[in-house]
Amino acid sequence: MVESGSESYPLKRRDVARALLAERNDMLVVAGLGSTAWDATAAGDHPLTFPLWGAMGGAVTIGLGLALAQTSRRVLVITGDGEMLMGLGSLATVAAQAPVNLAVCVFDNERYGETGMQLTHTAMGVSLTEVAAACGIRITGDVRSEDQLAEALPVIRNAVGPVFFNIKVRAEKLDFVLPPKNGVELKERFRLALLDDGATD
């Protein structure tokens, strides 16, 4: 039987989300379906954060489209290991398109958090970082500690990309902190904030 030690990993997902978004400035953020959307909202709901409802597997491709369309803006995708495993082909597309302004961070707790905390493939030895590197993504890395996170933050925010970090986070049950549930409202809020922000640059 496969077991995971992710319940004792030192990094907590909500702390990581707050660290990633603490100095976001005009960064555009796509938060994947489920836990990472709750994490981003818990760090502070923001009109330039686009949390996904009902679009599992699509976070990286949406972020890629934004990065290609908004070349002067940093784009950050935060998603979970379960969603990333559903969209591995998107990493090859990111490498092929090579957007210099895109960073992808996977919150890897080795669990499918929305369906009962079943183990994902990353608990069985699959390395998403190695997959990203094999696809040809320019900068890749693993983060397992606060020191490694501190070293990764300026790379995530500023390095010439694309950038991919797999961040090992503790498997834990947390209260939901939900963004607005209306997808049309979220889309319009994000679009209007982006257009308004661009008009004042």
Which CATH superfamily does the domain covering 6-199 fall into? Thiamin diphosphate (ThDP)-binding fold, Pyr/PP domains (3.40.50.970)
Q: What is the pTM of this model?
A: 0.92
- Following DSSP, what letter does each residue of 123-178 receive, concatenated? GGT--HHHHHHHHT-SEEEEE-SHHHHHHHHHHHHHSSS-EEEEEE---------P
Cα–Cα distance for residue pair 40/53, rounded to 1 Å: 13
Closest CA to 123 of 176, 92, 85: 85
CA atoms 46, 48, 54, 59: torsion sign: negative
Alpha carbon separation from 123 to 46, 89, 185 (Å, rounded)? 32, 20, 36
| pLDDT tens, residue order, the chain (201 aa) | 566 677 888 999 999 999 999 989 899 999 998 889 999 999 999 999 999 977 788 999 999 999 999 999 999 999 999 999 999 999 999 999 999 999 999 999 988 767 656 788 888 999 999 999 999 999 999 999 999 999 999 999 999 999 999 999 999 888 888 887 888 888 999 999 998 865 444
Q: Where are the domains of the chain?
A: 6-199
